[in-house]
Amino acid sequence: MAKSKKHFRRDREPRRYLYNGVFSAAAAGFGFVKTQDDPPLEFFIPRKYTGHALDGDLVEVEQIPDERDTTYSKRKSGPVGRIVSVTSHNRQFVVGRLETLHEIRPLDKHLPETIRVNSAPRNAKKGDWVQVRLLDDGARHTEQLRGSVERSLGPAGEVARDLDAIAAEYGLCPAYSAEEEAAAAKLTPVWIEREDLSALYTLTIDPADAHDFDDAISVMPSDKPGEITLGVHIADVAAWIRPGSRFDKAAFERSFSSYLPGKFLPMLPKPLTAKISLREKVLSPAHSVIFKVRLRDGKILSSRRVHSLVKVNRRLDYDTVQKFLDAPEKRPKGWTRQDAENVQLLNKLVHKMRGWRAKHEQFLWIDVPEIRVLCDESTHEITGLLRRTPCAADGIVEECMLAANSAVANELIERGVGGLFRIHPEPDPEKLAEFETFVSEAFGVSTGDLTSGRTACMHFLETVPDDHRKPVILARFLRAMSRASYLENPQLHFGLGKTRYSHFTSPIRRYPDLALHQQLLALDMNKRLRSKHVLAEIAVTCSKKEERNDNAFYAANDRLKLHFLKNSGALENTTMYEAIIQKVTSGGLMCEIPELGMLGFVPSARFRTRVARRSGSRSFASMENGHTGYRPGDFIYIALDSIDLVRGQAQFRPVI
């Protein structure tokens, strides 16, 4: 890794050392700068010393005496710094609400409260979301940020326009035009010899509102007693999308389909997706991996990959399958006996396969409930919140896809073919140590030494108390993990316990999967393969865009929850919510609200008499003249106090 530019600067100021690094902003105003040294230094940057640096900016920083506020700092150790200049902004555009003709209020709460703009176009009105191009003037010396309004996105506070604003803020590509969709509908697949597997009983299991169907599963007894033939069939998207073609470039630019609540932006044009999807009762080109699995213990005995023709016998959805698994004596309406028998066989098989993996790969099993906003895509009406926890029906599909992804990765490595691999590095020991401290102090739960390896993490996850603390603990544990990404070389996937793993099973919605299909199709047709250099560029780009897509979803889901609260009358009705305190700072309490699946902040101003202090290593706040004390892990009842639909924030007050 290149060394940071550590150098002297001679001006009128005293001589000083400067370091180059990337600034990471926190919503509370402070931030961190990780330098380009090997190993890197990480400076804590107090709020007053961030200048006008934005999250992700390349900056110059100098070390200063330690002035950190320990209630804001993530760490007790490490140097403290001051940003001297912004070398380059990480982004060209920001989105904000137009407050006046010369000022916007940014959507991103990591940005300054306001940004000056030179002017606004005539069609932009006060209260509109606008996209602003940041100007470079003054960036070098962290002068006040300025921008130029490029376009209006419509009135802020309307669900449809808020979703447009989030899509623009995160740089999501717009929907395909009618002309592009018409052109895509005319594409035809390349010819390749295919094995006819249409006689296999094949089914799909997807969400009831799925937009595409890129995977299917078949199961039947093998020729040998005690063995099962399992087929994982994936839509052969590469047969339609050639590398370097018009729609290959468009798919790479997007890299992923974006599933925002109330707004779907597909990676591929919808008419093409409809043609490629594995549809019920339709003979479809597929790319299949066929396994022989020992039913007794779930061991995969062999696998082979083949271009195929399949016909889906039954399209099923997760909820219906789960209801059947919970009560197998009640066959769902419309199901045949064969449907029921095959789903039961699949469930039994994947249970054994997961047991084999648990024993030999020691994967981490984390069930974190997710609460999503239900928003109609055509009317943008918010109809409620859906709480979903992974269940057995999800496990059927997941286990089959894991097997196919692993088999393809293994083939690439064994045959010396360049590919894309899904990696998940070991967690940072410092983050694990912070997590251990948090869980011990907030919930009185001993984690053991998680830094000793995956076995210790597995044991901890198996012993997490199954009560109100569990969702908070698991969510914090996930944040302590490293982020998974793509790489042109195989490496460890810490969460799965695998060293050979790729993404192969979702080529309609993920470009890394499509690129892998294209590589395999070229291999099977004796065509030119992509070089490792090209694959490395794809891996870097897709990893960045995956993070962008994830952040856009979380931003949209959280913002629409605020709309839900507003529409449900939570402000006027003083609706009371049970919350769990996550963090105590001098500014107030950060609380997890399980019913909403969101964080709520209770400012210290809402306490009649508030004292925030540390007792040993434990932080706590007291209120009501000290008669009631609150610590992380405590229950507190709160009510909604205010909603900020621009910055996407909600504040609550204690209900005593």
Fold of 93-156: OB fold (Dihydrolipoamide Acetyltransferase, E2P) (2.40.50)
Which residue, chain included where needed, has tokens 């040294």?
37
Higher pLDDT, 17 or 400: 400
Confidence of residue 138 (pLDDT cuts 50, 70, 90): very low
Q: Render pLDDT for 332-359 as a digit per residue (tens, 0 to 9).
A: 888 999 999 999 999 999 999 999 999 9
Give the pLDDT confidence of 452-468 residue by residue, as tens digits.
Answer: 888 899 999 988 888 87
pLDDT at 75: 46
Mean pLDDT of the 116-129 span: 86
pLDDT for position 38: 73
**What mean pLDDT comes out for the span 18-26?**
87
- Rounded to an integer, the average pLDDT of 641-648 is 92
Report the distance separating Cα 535 and Cα 388, nearest Å: 36
Higher pLDDT, 91 or 59: 59
Q: Does CATH number 2.40.50.140 belong to domain 7-88?
A: yes
How far apart CA 580 and CA 163 sit, in angstroms, is 29
- 39 preceded by a cis bond (ω within 30 of 0): yes
Residue closest to 513 by CA, chosen among 236, 133, 240: 236
Instruction: Give the pLDDT band (50/70/90) at residue 139.
Output: very low
pLDDT tens-digit map of 481-538: 999 999 999 999 999 999 999 999 999 999 999 999 999 999 999 999 999 999 999 9
pTM of the model as a whole: 0.89
User: What is d(CA 532, CA 534) in angstroms, rounded to the nearest whole number?
Assistant: 5
Q: Report the pLDDT averaged over residues 220-246.
A: 94
Q: What percent of the chain has pLDDT over 90?
A: 56
Alpha-helical segments (H) within 256-366: 270-276, 318-326, 337-360
CA distances from 490 to 410, 547, 642 (A): 10, 20, 49
Task: Report the pLDDT value the prediction gives residue 6, as an integer from 0 to 100.
Answer: 52
265-313 per-position pLDDT tens digit? 999 999 999 999 999 999 999 999 999 999 999 999 999 999 999 999 9
pLDDT band at 78 (very low <50, low <70, confident <90, very high): confident
R_g of the chain, CA atoms, integer Å: 27
Q: Is the pLDDT of residue 11 over 50?
A: no
CA–CA dist 538, 517 (Å, integer):
14
Our measurement of the distance from residue 461's CA atom to the centroid of its chain's CA atoms, rounded to an integer in Å, reads 21
The string of DSSP codes covering 481-493 is SPPPEEESS---B
If you average pLDDT over each of 20-29, 118-127, 159-168, 360-369, which comes out highest? 159-168
Taking alpha carbons only, the member of 129, 170, 134 closest to residue 151 is: 129
Confidence category of residue 51, pLDDT binned at 50, 70, 90: confident
Q: Is the distance from CB of 636 to CB of 579 less than 8 angstroms?
A: yes
Instruction: Read off the pLDDT band of 570 (50, 70, 90).
Output: confident
Equal fold, 93-156 vs 569-654:
yes
Parallel, antiparallel or unpaired: strands 146-155 and 115-117: parallel
Residues 6+ apart with CB under 8 A from 587: 28, 71, 603, 604
| Averaged pLDDT score across all residues of the chain | 87
Which one-letter amino acid corresponds to residue 601? Answer: F
- Do residues 503 and 516 touch, judged by C-beta distance below 8 A? yes
Q: % helix / strand / coil in the chain, to the nearest 5? A: 30, 30, 40
pLDDT at 110 over 90: no
Query: Nearest to residue 584, comparing CAs of 609, 624, 611?
Result: 611
Confidence class for position 475, pLDDT limits 50, 70, 90: confident
Residue 142 binned pLDDT confidence (cut-offs 50, 70, 90): very low
**Helix (DSSP H) and strand (DSSP E) numbers for the chain:** 12, 32
Q: How far apart are CA 507 and CA 232, in angstroms?
A: 14
Encoded amino acid at 253, one letter: E
Domain spans, the chain: 7-88, 93-156, 178-424+486-558, 429-481, 569-654
- At position 413, the amino acid (one-letter code) is I
pLDDT over 60 at 128, yes or no = yes
Q: Is the pLDDT of residue 77 over 70?
A: no
| Residue 426 structure tokens | 């070991």
Average pLDDT over residues 407-424: 96
Cα-Cα-Cα-Cα torsion 453, 458, 459, 465, nearest 10 degrees, comes to 130
Q: Which CATH architecture has domain 569-654?
A: Beta Barrel (2.40)
What is the pLDDT confidence band of residue 70, given thresholds at 50, 70 and 90?
A: very low
% of residues, the chain, pLDDT over 70: 91
Q: What is the mean pLDDT of residues 422-437?
A: 90
pLDDT of residue 73: 42
The Cα–Cα gap between 111 and 117 comes to: 15
